A and B are shown apart, each in its own frame.
Chain A
Amino acid sequence: MEPVMAIAVGLMYAAAIYMMLRRSIVKLVIGLMLLSNAANLLIFTSAGMTRGAPPLIPPGAVVPDGIVADPLPQALILTAIVIAFGVLAFAVVLIHRAYNILRTDNLDQMKDTDT
């Protein structure tokens, strides 16, 4: 399973970078979305794709029974999804405002502050 996931994650990164390199700011934001999702999948994959029971401890015991799944990667991904969601909401509003003010969605025409 890991090789398939690894290739999928790699493709997502490639797609994200490709979208970010294009001229339109809308595609830039789509690239950012793909990028954050690729990072989440990477955490999911690299933390180990083992089949395990839910990490619940039976009443009276102090350690779980048998092999359990690691809950931490899920917690990390959940946090990262929430953060990415907030940040992307901001990015969408930003490109909308930027379009209204600059009257262009072409990144090549946003060079006034570069030189």
Chain B
Amino acid sequence: MSFEVALPILIPLLTGALCVMFWRYNAIQRALSLVGSFALLATSIWLMISVYNDGHVVMYMGNWEAPFGITLVADMLSAIMVVLTGMMAVAIAIYSLSSASPSHERFGYYPLMHLLLAGVAGSFLTGDIFNLYVWFEVMLIASFALLILGGERAQMEGAVKYVTLNLLSSAIFLSAIGLLYGLVGTLNMADIAVKLGEAENAGLIDVIAVMFLIAFGIKAAAFPLFFWLPASYHTGPVAVSALFAGLLTKVGVYALFRVFTLIFNQNVDFTHEILLWMAGFTMLTGVLGAAAQFEFRRILSFHIVSQIGYMILGLALFTPLALIGGVFYIMHHIIVKTNLFLISGITHRLLGTYDLKKLGGIYKSRPFLSILFLIPALSLAGVPPLSGFFAKFIIIRAGVEADAWVITGIALLVGLLTLYSMIKIWAEVFWKKLPKGQDDTALVEGKTSASTVVLYIPVVLLAVCTLFIGLNGQPIYEFAEYSAAQLLNPQGYIDAVLGGAQ
């Protein structure tokens, strides 16, 4: 019995439940949330070690062997994603100590946060396609409620779009599961992979594959299905935006990686060609959208979209190196993007706005914060020697080796435009003088209160991670290499899951 596969789901669920029991005691909830996040990180590292030693870690729920019961499976990709979830949980839990307002805490901020983490971890670990749908819904319902905490105008508008398009995606996902079940009569992903290999109705398989592509494409915010993301992500509380930015779209990307390497690998010319076009347009539209924006978090939201393109590109090229690049990109991106949102929260704390035109003068009074911004910002743009450079380098190298010149050119161009956006933020927020008429008391006083110092802790930790990946990328590359090898050889996954039944 490999209990470590279930723990990353159980711990946040338990933490959330305990937080509900202490509904009226915010201090206890805060402490619980912190302990639960560290426990999640610890168990995720335990899981990572087991996966690194054994290849696949499988657990049958209720001891019903696959393909009859629900199976939890962790391969290297799942383990990496769960470790990242743990890291983000810790970062957000520390950040929330200072950023969460008492009114948010009173309406269940911590229970929802941990429910969301349970949903995310469940999506990464399940080996059952219907169970994946259930975890998606767990994650969604928690994210709906988190997004509207505070109940401001913009949040309501953003939430209507977010809720509608995500429910639409869930309905398409559910329909695709129904058709798939009608075709193969099983829900276990490994078993589906085996049965689809024997199925004859190739046309219907392609239809189902495209339905999965659309459903996960909406979740991952890929072109042309990304419109909900920049309309909603900047409206929520900043710690919530940061968590969403880091994890939620990546659940969609993970699902694409899982489904299009394990299940739908019969007609690669068709499905991965679509993915390739999606990747190119996602990169371009995201980065061009960002260029037009002048709101800190909206620029970052559009960049999430453009970065998703790189990850999908890794999947679409479907060569070993490209998949390594895709996984490496996910790792780098989650850390960097969360960090940038957290920094936007600090500047908001200092000047009370996210509008680039009203921000300014931060370099003069907070040089340390400015350097902290530069690390993830330049990493996002792919400036060596930071993590983003190696992520982009691997993907572009893979593109060149696959002779996909157009898409490689787009990827390079988008890197340049990303740099433009980051320089825009740097010039407007940090470098230029503070515009006249802006209240700058918090900025000029020079003192940093204890509660603001708490905001710096996760930012510094994540910046150190970015630097570490950049300066010492070899171990991270090996993890990505390990997971790409597993993704390209689904037989290992199938044997690990179904081994008990045969």
Q: A residues bordering B, Cβ < 8 Å?
A: 20, 25, 28, 32, 35-36, 38-40, 42-48, 70, 72-73, 76, 79-80, 83, 86-87, 90-91, 94-95, 97-98, 101-102, 107, 110-114
Are B141 and A87 in contact, with the CB atoms below 8 A?
A: yes
* A113 and B154 contact, CB distance less than 8 A: yes
Q: How far is the CA of A20 from the CA of B168 in the complex (A)?
A: 10
Report if A94-B159 is in contact (Cβ < 8 Å); known contacts: A35-B167, A39-B171, A112-B153.
yes
Residues of chain A lying within 8 A (CB to CB) of residue B140? 87
> In the bound complex, do residue A86 and residue B141 qualify as a contact, i.e. CB atoms below 8 Å apart?
yes
Contacts from B to A (Cβ < 8 Å): 130, 133-134, 137, 140-141, 144-145, 148, 151-154, 156-161, 163-164, 167-168, 170-171, 174-175, 177-179, 181-183, 185, 187, 227, 231-232, 234-235
> Which residue of A has the minimal Cβ distance to B136?
A83
Residue of B nearest to A16 (CB): B171
A47, B145: Cβ atoms under 8 Å? no
A103's nearest neighbour on chain B, judged by CB, is: B153
Cα(A74)–Cα(B357), bound, Å: 56
Q: How long is the Cα–Cα vector from A99 to B490 in the complex, in angstroms?
A: 49
> Whose C-beta in chain A lies nearest to the C-beta of B173?
A39
A83 touches B159 (CB 8 A): no
Q: Is the CB of B156 within 8 A of A32?
A: no
Closest to B292 in A: A115
Contact across chains for A80 and B174 when beta carbons are under 8 A apart: yes
- Known pairs A101-B152, A114-B231 / 13 extra A-B pairs, C-beta < 8 Å: A20-B164, A35-B167, A40-B174, A43-B181, A83-B137, A87-B137, A90-B141, A90-B144, A94-B148, A112-B157, A113-B231, A113-B235, A114-B227
Interchain nearest-CB distance for A31 vs B (Å): 9
A29 to B273 Cα, complex, angstroms: 35
User: Nearest Cβ in chain A — how far from B195, in angstroms?
Assistant: 14
State the Cβ distance, B242 to closest chain A Cβ, in Å: 18
Known: A87-B140, A97-B151. A46 touches B130 (CB 8 A): no
A70 → B minimal CB distance (Å)? 8
Residues in B neighbouring A86, C-beta threshold 8 A: 141
**A47 close to B178 (CB less than 8 A):** yes
Instruction: State how many angstroms separate the Cβ of B164 from the closest Cβ of chain A.
Output: 6
Q: Is the CB of A94 within 8 A of B178?
A: no
Contacting pair A79 B134 (CB below 8 A): yes
- Are the C-beta atoms of B156 and A98 separated by less than 8 Å? yes
Q: Are B157 and A113 in contact (CB under 8 A)?
A: yes
Which 6 pairs from chain A and chain B are nearest by CB? A46-B182, A43-B178, A98-B156, A39-B174, A110-B157, A35-B171
A20–B235 Cα distance when bound, in Å, is 23
Known: A28-B164, A73-B181. A43 touches B174 (CB 8 A): yes
> Hey, which chain B residues are within 8 Å of A40, CB to CB?
174
Q: Whole-angstrom distance between the alpha carbons of A36 and B167 in the complex?
A: 9
Q: Can you list 11 pairs linking A and B with CB atoms under 8 Å apart?
A: A42-B178, A44-B178, A97-B151, A97-B156, A101-B152, A101-B153, A107-B160, A112-B153, A112-B157, A113-B158, A113-B235
A27 to chain B, nearest CB (A): 12
How far is the CB of A18 from the nearest CB of chain B, in Å?
Answer: 13
In the bound assembly, the distance between CA atoms of A79 and B134 in angstroms comes to 8
Question: Given the complex, which residues of B lie within 8 Å of A91, measured CB to CB?
Answer: 163, 167
In the assembly, what is the distance between CA of A62 and CA of B274, in Å?
A: 47
Q: Are A110 and B160 in contact (CB under 8 A)?
A: yes
The answer to whether A95 and B160 touch across the interface, beta carbons within 8 angstroms, is yes
Interface contact B175-A39, CB-CB below 8 Å: yes
Alpha-carbon distance A56/B151, docked complex (angstroms)? 51
Chain A nearest CB from B229 CB (Å) reads 11
In the assembled complex, the Cα of A87 lies from the Cα of B170 at a distance in Å of 11
Considering the chains assembled together, what is the distance between the CA atoms of A111 and B227 in angstroms?
Answer: 12
Q: Which residues of B contact A43 (CB under 8 A)?
A: 174-175, 177-178, 181
Whole-angstrom distance between the alpha carbons of A83 and B154 in the complex? Answer: 27
Closest CB in chain A relative to B283 CB, distance in Å: 21
Tell me, in angstroms, the Cα distance from A70 to B159 when the chains sit together.
39
Task: Give every chain B residue within 8 A of A70 (Cβ-Cβ).
Answer: 185
Partner of B181, one of A72, A95, A101, A110: A72
Q: What residues on B are CB-neighbors of A112 within 8 Å?
A: 153-154, 157
Minimum C-beta distance from A92 to chain B (A) = 11
Question: Which residue in chain B gives the minimum CB-CB distance to A34?
Answer: B171
Docked-complex contact B177 and A72, CB < 8 angstroms: no
